[in-house]
Amino acid sequence: MDATRRTALMGATGLIASVKTARSQPAIADNVKALVFDVFGTCVDWRNGVAREVERILKPLGYNLDWIAFADGWRALYQPTMEEVRSGRQPFVKLDILHRRMLDQIKPKFGLQKLDDEAADELTLAWHRLDAWPDVPRGFARLHRKYILAPCSNGNIALMADIGRRNAFPWDAILGSEIARDFKPKPRVYLATAEALNLRPDQVMMVAAHSDDLRSAASNGLHTAHVARPHEHPGAENGPRVPVDFAARSMEDLADKLGA
């Protein structure tokens, strides 16, 4: 086959594949029964929320920190601390307990060695008081008319319940790490979430702002939707870095794409 014909055929094949994908999206949207969500970063603004709460608690005690740097430093220990559990080096405990352990680790860096346990406990609850991105309540209201909604988060049940109540999220269940006794991206977290809803993995769609989460969900048979959160933190994703079924600019845009 000459180069011109080969180029033309490849172009036609790409066009056909693109049309096929576009046509498959309504079928996917109708087959899916539940949307499950990453929460930190995807649904709520953890960075500014933690910084705000830390300032509220510590400033009256005479501390004056770089509040955003503190939030970033705390969050930087998130994956390494969970990896101790995922690897089997440490037994599973709830994220609230891990957040407290992380806090104890970073206290010296920020001059908080003398902070008492009561203040440290209150700081740990900062993660329970995070605010939703503005588009999320509006998008959830629409999506809930068509789908079961639940978190598939590394956050524990009490944490997700508090965030849900604070932001009026219409959770139908609270799923994820605590029922699976493990942390994403371990397969059990995604599969236990589908099982809890009496659904096959292909009837569930994972929604996240983080491509690694979506890659793992897809590898376990779930459909995937990326919601961009470019303001989550410096270096956050403007779009998916892996193939996904849907890529949206906001939760409302996702509702548009899913026909909700």
- Give the side-chain half-sphere CA count within 13 A for 4: 0
pLDDT mean across residues, the chain: 92
Average of pLDDT values for 75-101?
Answer: 98
Alpha-carbon gap, residue 157 to 174, rounded angstroms: 6
Alpha-carbon gap, residue 70 to 48, rounded angstroms: 11
Alpha-carbon gap, residue 180 to 194, rounded angstroms: 11
Question: What tens digit of pLDDT does each residue of 166-181 get?
Answer: 999 999 999 999 999 9
The reported pLDDT for the residue numbered 12 is 32
Of 10-19, 87-96, 176-185, least confident by mean pLDDT is 10-19
Q: What is the DSSP letter of 40?
A: B
Phi, psi (5° rounding) for residue 203? -95, 5
Does residue 15 carry a pLDDT above 50?
no
Confidence band, pLDDT 50/70/90 cuts, at residue 92? very high
Average of pLDDT values for 195-204?
Answer: 98
Q: Is 123 exposed, middle or buried (0-12, 13-18, 19+ CB in 10 A)?
A: buried
The reported pLDDT for the residue numbered 150 is 98
The region that residue 37 occupies, defined by phi over 0 for left and psi between -120 and 50 for alpha, beta otherwise, is beta
Question: What tens digit of pLDDT does each residue of 219-228 get?
Answer: 999 999 999 9
Does residue 14 carry a pLDDT above 80?
no
Which domains, from first to last, does the chain contain? Answer: 31-44+130-257 (3.40.50.1000), 46-128 (1.10.150.240)
The reported pLDDT for the residue numbered 106 is 97
The answer to whether the beta carbons of residues 145 and 121 sit under 8 Å apart is no
The answer to whether the beta carbons of residues 68 and 126 sit under 8 Å apart is no
